Each structure stands twice: as structure tokens, then as C-alpha cells.
A and B are shown apart, each in its own frame.
Chain A
Amino acid sequence: MVISKAIRDQIEAENANYPRARGGLLAALHRVQREYGAITPEHATALAPIFDMTAVEVLAVVSFYDMLSSQPAGRHQVRVCTNLSCSLAGAREFLREIENHLGITRGETSADGRITLGHEACLGACANAPMMRVDDRYYEDLDTESARQVLDALD
């Protein structure tokens, strides 16, 4: 099965929180992506009947949200905030140094499949720039050295 019974059960339990099952769609998409690395057309096809949707409708939701992807990416998502407050604190130079360190530019995945790098539009850490999000964790008040240590420690 493209989506395991266990994951499917979790999705259905979550859906019960909403007056209509589709309210649980974002939670289901987060879950599938965490488990399988992406929400591929095959996953969308498997999810669609649970939500009384078509597979394309599911993918149309996926494509709207920055955190969801229909294509597998690196094992870790690294996002540097480059909005105004962070830019004023040097976040754009910081991002370039991260790019040099990893040997990739924003939007790319490292050759070993470890890291996908991107920049992001304000993560609500404006007083602690530069900062980056690694998967579900924030790292704040960074400099190039401390950021390198965080990145090098990722598996």
C-alpha cells in the first residue's frame, strides 16, 4: 500500500476532529510528507477517496503551501529567513555563506541528499536574526560558525 494502514488510521482519527473530513487534509498531508518524504501523485491518489476529493484536487492543495511538496527533497529542510528584519541583520550575506559552505544555492539539494536549502518569508524570530529553521526546529542568533556546526551535525 502506498499509505500504510497505520498512517491511514491516524488520518481518519484526526479527521474526526472536524465537522467535515476535509478539515483534516492539511494534517494528513503533513503526516504523509513526514512519513514518505513527499506527497507524490500516488499518495494523492490514495488520499483522495478519504477526503471525497480527486487526486488532482489534493495535489492542487499541496502546490499552494510552501511546506508541502509533491517531489522528494533532501532529508532535512533548511530555511533561512531573509525578510526585512533579518536582512537588516545581515541574513542575506549569511545565506550566501551557508550556500558556499554547502556548495548549493537556494532551492537546491545537496548531492548526498542530506539538505535542501531555501529562504523563507519571516519565521517570527525577528529579534534574533540571523536565524534558520531546520525541519521543525528554530536556530536563532546565529553566525556563520554556529550555523555551520548545526548543519554539519545533520545526518
Chain B
Amino acid sequence: MQKAPHVTDYLTRHCADDEYGCLRGFEAQGGYRAAHTALREMTPQKILDEVRQAGLQGRGGAGFCAGLKWSFMPAPEQQPSYLVCNADESEPGSFKDRLLLERAPHQLLEGILLAARAIGAQKSFIYIRGEYAEAARVMQRAVDEAHAKGYLGDDVMGSGFSHDVVVVRGAGSYICGEETALLESLEGKRGHPRVKPPFPAQRGAFDRPSTVNNVETLCHVPHIIGRGAAWFRSTGTEKSPGTTLFGVSGHVVRPGLFELPLGTPLDEIIFEHAGGVADGRKVKGVIPGGLSMPILPAGELDVAMANEFLQEKGSALGTGGIIVMDDRTCMVRTACVISEFYRAESCGQCGPCREGTAWINDIVTRVERGTGTAEDLELLVDICDGMEGQTICAFADAAAWPVRALLKHFYADFERHVREGVCSFSGSFQL
């Protein structure tokens, strides 16, 4: 099981309690109260408006306003339509959804009920990455419990609203986290992203109107409905309200999860909450939001962790997965690890992505081994130019950004490899 967070707030307060994973324990902490009230007393429009006013941003990486996304769904009479919960969590450096699935399954189900009610969906699919077998077991048990209690199925909680949840397991593929690839996979196909438009709200799962939301996004919903949009807006920043689950990994004393307000300064998260860099060393660079997000050098850590501020620094919040690298770290090796991943995971559908990810990996590998040239470094930038914005989905951008940022902030590391013909960063991690 995923370990409980070091710092908790409303989303994760009871995650260390094993009882919280079962329906009775969840209800003992006030769980399902928001659903009881809202399903009976609030119209779908009212639920949607509350979430929209709360300004809840999607926590799956793109930060899109959840209430706005829900409003794209057609009128509820247009059945069937579906809610799809994206539990594919495979952005390297991210491990928050696993916690929410394994330790608070009913919180997610309550969020699903409310979201489904708001958009008028009678069925939800929770698409869980195949490797998260434990999470799938826990979720299925929670779904069965909720059914037995009348919280799923026909006439949920006596409200007249009917809803079913299907737990679906993926089978090992990073791209299936991209929402349209996920929909293809859900339909039993290879996970090739779809051309948009049509957007999922027009034509999503099984050709029907669908909304795709991340696990954490949906977990905030019961709290918003229970306590109101104004309460939600009292934490976080004006543009990015609420808390989020930051996952800190790499060279820190206390790696793990931290539920903190959006807008918490990155240096506070690293040095206060995660205990700073291990062995008394210094930070060299930090990836602030999962592997796809551009790295920040040590001098730029005084940034509030919310998109509006990170974007000024040329990066973004992504999934809130913070990867810390100390001053021994070779950034060429870092580029090797990153590019190896994108090469292996490109679905191959678009030429620029398929060829570009492989080419980048070949080049950084030879630079790392000492046979790269100065021209190679220029070539890397050209390849990134040829990938960004040139493909069906954002995977190619996600593969190009980190490389571009590593070159921008740590060009000296690459030059040193070219010049010296070996990796002279003693103490760096090994390939």
C-alpha cells in the first residue's frame, strides 16, 4: 500500500486509518454526507455551478477547470453518457492517485457520484493502470460495498438517480493516460490518441458524450459540495484554489506525499516539508511537476507551486510530482533516462514523435558516452522544434520540453561531456 502523506489536509486527513478504506469507516468520518444531501436536494446544475465557482482545476496534468469541462456535456436527456475516471497515473514522479485509490476509495466514489449527477451520466468507468493491481482490488471492493448499501445501482440513496461504476484495468502503457488514448483502450483497442475535435464531451467512450477526470480532481468534489465554493477558495491561490498532493522524490531527506495548498513555494516544500537535500548536499535542479515538465535550476526554486507562477519560469505544475536532484547529478545522464522513457512509450502513430523520441535518445546516449559532438547539441534543439505541436497528442511536447529545458539550464554539462569524452561527474547516479 502507498504510504500515508507526511502532511495532510482535507483530502488525506484519514488516509493513515485502515478503517477509512471501508464504507463504515469512511462514513464515520462524515463520508457520503455531501452525496446524501446533494443527490436529494441539489439539482445537477446547482452541483455543477458550485464546482465551477470553486474554480477546481483538473489535477491530471493540464489544469483545466473541472466545472467548465462538465458544462460541455450535452443535456442529460442525451443518454447514455459516461464519466471516465483517469486512474492511469503513469507520469514518472507521480504517485498521489495510487494513495487516493488504495486508501480512500469511497472518497473517490462519492466524487464520482456527484460528478456523474452533475453531468447526467448513468455509468462511470474507473480506468486503473494495469500495474496498480492493489488499487484495482481495493476499488472493486469499495464498489461492491457501495452497491450493497444502495449507494450505487438503482435509485442511489433514495434520490431517484441511478448509477453504476465499472473498474477497468489497463495493461501497461503510459500513453493510455492521455484521455483519448484511454478511451481507445477502454474500448479494447491499441491506445492510439484520437484527433480532437471531436472532444470527449461530443464523442467519447463508445462514441457517446463523456467527461474524463483525474482521480484527485474527483476526490476534491465531495469537499466542495459539502463545504461550498467559498470555503474551497479560502486555500490555494486566487487562480488555483484548494490543496493538492505534492509527491516529492529523488535526493531529499523525507521523500513522500504532502498535501499542501496550491501556491506553496517550491523551496518550502523541498527544504521544510521534505527535509532538504540528503547528506547535506545542495540542489542542482528540480523537476516540479512530473517527468514531462521542464526542469528548474537551483536558483529558481522560490516559485509558488501553481500554474500561473510556474509558467512564468517556463515550467508548469503538471501532476505535482517533484523530482529533486543534488549537485552530483549528471544532467546528461538525466537526459538519457528521460529520453529512454519517451522512446519506449511513444505509441508510434505520429512520425515526428516516433522518430524524434528515438533520435533524441540516440544523441544524448552518444553524448553521455563521450562520442557526441557540438553539432549534436544543436541538432537536439532542431529535433525538439520538429516535434512540439506537430502531433496528434501532447506526448511529443512532453518528450521535447524536458530535453529543451535541460539544454537551456545545464548546457555546460552537455558541453563538458563533448569536450572531455567521458562523464566526469563523480558521484552521479549510474546508468
Residue numbers of A with Cβ under 8 A of B are 17-20, 22-27, 29-30, 51, 60-61, 64-68, 82-85, 87-90, 92-93, 120-129, 133, 136-138
Contacts and interface: CB of A to CB of B under 8 A. Distances in A.
A106 to B, nearest CB: 12
A26 B323 contact: no
A8 B235 CA distance: 52
B422 interface: no
Contacts of A88: 249-251, 323, 325, 329, 429
B156 to A, nearest CB: 18
B386 interface: no
B188 A23 contact: yes
A61 B176 CA distance: 13
Interface stretch (B8-16, B90-98, B358-366, B375-383): B90-98
B255 A122 contact: no
9 contacts: A25-B188, A26-B170, A29-B171, A65-B171, A67-B131, A82-B337, A85-B323, A122-B291, A124-B97
B291 A83 contact: yes
Nearest to A28: B188
| Top 4 A-B pairs, shortest CB-CB distance | A25-B188, A66-B172, A67-B172, A65-B171
A84 B188 contact: no
Interface stretch (B66-74, B338-346, B408-416): B338-346
Contacts of B186: 23
B257 A127 contact: yes
Contacts of B338: 84
B244 interface: no
Given A64-B190, A125-B98, A126-B321, 12 more contacts: A23-B187, A26-B170, A61-B188, A68-B172, A84-B323, A84-B334, A85-B93, A87-B429, A121-B92, A124-B2, A126-B93, A126-B247
Sorting the interface of chain B by its residue count into under 10, 10 to 19, 20 to 34 or 35 or more gives: 35 or more
B166 interface: yes
B275 interface: no
A73 to B, nearest CB: 14
Interface of B: 2-3, 80, 89-95, 97-98, 129-134, 166, 168-174, 185-191, 206, 208, 247-251, 255-257, 287, 291, 321, 323, 325, 329, 334, 337-338, 341, 344-345, 347, 429-431
Given A23-B187, A83-B291, A88-B429, A121 B255 contact: no
Nearest to A135: B133
Contacts of A90: 429-430
Contacts of A64: 173, 190-191, 347
A129 B92 CA distance: 13
Contacts of A125: 2, 95, 98
For A30, A66, A129, which residue has the most chain B Cβ atoms within 10 angstroms? A66
A129 B249 contact: yes
Contact of B92 (A17, A27, A126, A133): A126
Contact of B189 (A61, A68, A120, A124): A61
Contacts of B190: 60-61, 64
Given A88-B251, A120-B131, A93 B337 contact: no
B429 A92 contact: yes
Given A84-B93, A122-B90, A124-B94, A67 B171 contact: yes
A60 B256 CA distance: 38
A24 B189 CA distance: 10
B92 A122 contact: yes
A25 to B, nearest CB: 3
A128 B247 CA distance: 11
A93 B429 CA distance: 9
A127 B355 CA distance: 32
A16 to B, nearest CB: 10
Given A20-B206, A87-B429, A92-B430, A124 B172 contact: no
Contacts of B431: 87, 92
A26 B337 contact: no
A128 B254 CA distance: 10
A120 B131 CA distance: 10
Contact of B255 (A23, A93, A127, A138): A127
Nearest to A82: B337
Given A65-B171, A67-B131, A68-B171, A19 B206 contact: yes
A125 B256 CA distance: 9
A25 B186 CA distance: 9
Contact of A126 (B80, B94, B134, B187): B94
